[in-house]
Amino acid sequence: MTSKHKINDGQLQKNLKKYVCSCGKEYSYRQGLYLHKKTCENEEIIYKNEINTNTEPIKNESVDKELINYLIKENQDFKNLILEIVKKDSYNNCNNITNTNSHNKTFNLQFFLNETCKNAMNISDFVDSIKLQLSDLENVAKIGYVEGLSKIIIKNLKALDVTERPVHCSDSKRDTMYVKDEDKWEKENENNDKVLKAIEDIANKNSKMVKEWKQKNPECASSKSHKADVYSHIMIQAVCSNNDANNNKILKKIAKEVIIDKS
């Protein structure tokens, strides 16, 4: 071994220090000893040379200030990291709870009909409750049978609380209707016979007012009178337009207005 190697080897051995607490714990680096000091009951810290066993005390005051600042910064960064993780986990947990509750909150159609809407009107009573005026007859003649009858029926349905209505729709695309008749809720058949019958009955109530309107507007008998044109439209829209095709159009308009809110 050359003299240069001997010198370097001696310097290496000299620099290899062990940091030792007075309790006996040894550390290769001052940082490790510093962290240990926080939990150790001994107040003095010593270090020894790995080759030379002579020890010398190191007072707490001699701890590197730069090391302290470094550890404080590292500790703060660690705290911030933990807070971010906690916030993220809390957010995910809240979302999971919300999603779970949404999935568990399944709409019960039978409960809605038989309990929530147990005091709903029978559809026959609803038809009987509609009181028409001559202005309704004239409006049907003016805007057409489908629009006019739809407005009359929908207006009277909306006058009722949702839970009191005699008809509900669960699927407007398929016209899936539920009707209360004879004090019980039932799903309509594929032809929607009960709803269509109700529409036809209301249309008949409207057309029956033609006689009264004619009595109050006798000038309609004269072809030169404006009332004659009104009378002609009334007969076409109120009487001649009451058919299955038009009534099915009215049913679709009603279905969109009585969709069940499943949220």
Q: What is the pLDDT of residues 86-130, one digit of tens each?
A: 666 655 655 554 554 444 468 899 999 999 999 999 999 999 999
Written as six digits, the tokens of 192 are 């929607």
In a domain, 183, yes or no: yes
Please check whether residue 20 is in contact with residue 5, taking contact to mean a CB–CB distance below 8 angstroms. no
Q: What whole-number distance in Å separates Cα of residue 225 and Cα of residue 212?
A: 18
In a domain, 100, yes or no: no
For residue range 183-231, list pLDDT tens digits in order: 999 999 999 999 999 999 999 999 999 999 999 999 999 988 999 999 9
Using DSSP, state whether 233 is helix, strand or coil.
helix
Residue 169 pLDDT level (bands cut at 50, 70, 90): very high
* Angle, vertex CA 119, rays to CA 116 and CA 123, nearest 5: 110
Q: How many domains does the chain have?
A: 2
Q: Of 35 and 251, which is predicted with more confidence?
A: 251
Tell me the residue range of the domain where 52 lies. 3-65
Q: Is there a single domain that holds both residue 55 and residue 159?
A: no
Q: Is there a single domain that holds both residue 27 and residue 147?
A: no
What does the pLDDT average to over 60-66? 57
State how beta strands 26-27 and 45-49 pair. Answer: unpaired
Closest CA to 233 of 141, 156, 154, 119: 141
Using DSSP, state whether 105 is helix, strand or coil.
coil
Q: What whole-number distance in Å separates Cα of residue 88 and Cα of residue 84?
A: 6
Q: What whole-number distance in Å separates Cα of residue 201 and Cα of residue 196?
A: 9
In a domain, 127, yes or no: yes
For residue range 25-36, list pLDDT tens digits in order: 777 767 776 776
Q: Is there a single domain that holds both residue 44 and residue 113?
A: no
Q: Is there a single domain that holds both residue 114 and residue 61?
A: no
Alpha carbon of residue 55 to chain centroid:
71
In a domain, 85, yes or no: no
Q: Is there a single domain that holds both residue 114 and residue 50?
A: no
